[in-house]
Amino acid sequence: MAITAALVKELRERTGAGMMECKKALVETDGDIDAAIEQMRKSGMAKADKKAGRAASEGLLGIKTSDDNKTAVIVEINSETDFVSKGDAFKEFVANVTDLVLAEKPADLDALLAAKLPSGSTVEDTRKELIAQLGENMSVRRFEIIDAKGQVAVYSHGSRIGVIVDVEGGDAELGKDLAMHIAASRPICVDESSVPQAELDKEKEIYTAQAQESGKPAEIIEKMVQGRIKKFLKEITLLGQPFVKDPDQTVEKLLKDKNASVVSFVRLEVGEGIEKKQENFADEVMAQVKG
């Protein structure tokens, strides 16, 4: 069968692959476009597997809330370069996966990867097809879902930092301010009671070792350690931090004045924890808040 330009064009539109790859697939399948698509998908899976070991630390965050503002989801999908993450195909994938998480609320990452997108393909198969199409590794890294007791507020700093916060009481402006504060100040939990014991033990061990070098008596060392622990807790808890828009008051005082409380929050930053030099996007948020 003759391989016409129109046939190649149709295959390109349906797969997003390059012209020569489409022509080759059509030649090998004697012009059967469906067989060519299946062959290209299989080939794409193989290419994706070969790229699986390459670090993917760029990418985008997707955030979406339900119509009643009671549920919000955030998804991180990574690529190797920001060039790919800025492309329409990657952005569409992130948007579709985010919509899927909000609609289906998968139990874990495996369930998300196995779930089907509107195209009929699973998230995992679509990911591999995109790897073959765009030529670099990608990963659906993580997602979080908050079903609010109060109302959800969200904030995105570009597509690099995303925050969801569940606020009871207050108003929409307070929710946005809290979300921006969390983006800039990086608290790890709401209050002292939420701090993991392992985190406290680790810090206490470090502070004790440092204090012992002073050669002071044990009771003085204990007071020094307790003082440092207290300072540490104020730095990492949302309620203990100075509010970014008004550092003379803590977030705890702000909430009391507004007759509001924070139930929970999620803060994700693209690529955090992945071995690669990171830009300090939290500082950008802080500058934006103060500016």
Q: Which residue has the higher pLDDT, 125 or 57?
A: 125
Give the span between the Cα atoms of 64 and 84, in whole angstroms. Answer: 22
- pLDDT tens-digit series, residues 193-245: 888 888 888 888 888 888 888 778 888 888 888 888 889 889 999 999 999 99
- Residues 36 and 168 placed together within one structural domain of the fold: no
91 and 111 co-located in one domain: yes
Of 2, 14, 5, give the one whose Cα is nearest residue 40: 14
Taking 70 as the threshold, does the pLDDT of residue 120 lie above it? yes
Which residues constitute the domain of residue 68? Answer: 55-147
Judgement on whether residues 130 and 140 belong to the same structural domain of the protein:
yes
Residue closest to 90 by CA, chosen among 67, 62, 115: 62
Same domain, 130 and 224: no
Tell whether the model's pLDDT for residue 14 goes beyond 60: yes
Of 89, 115, 147, the residue that ends a domain is 147
pLDDT category at 82 given cuts 50, 70, 90 is confident
Task: Give percent of the chain above pLDDT 70.
Answer: 86
The verdict on pTM exceeding 0.85 is no
**168 and 138 both lie in a single domain:** no
The CATH number of the domain holding residue 244 is 3.30.479.20
Starting from the edge strand earliest in sequence, which strands make up the sheet with 151-157, in order?
A: 151-157, 161-168, 261-269
| 290 and 184 inside one domain | yes
Q: What is the mean pLDDT of the chain?
A: 86
- The answer to whether residues 156 and 291 belong to one domain is yes
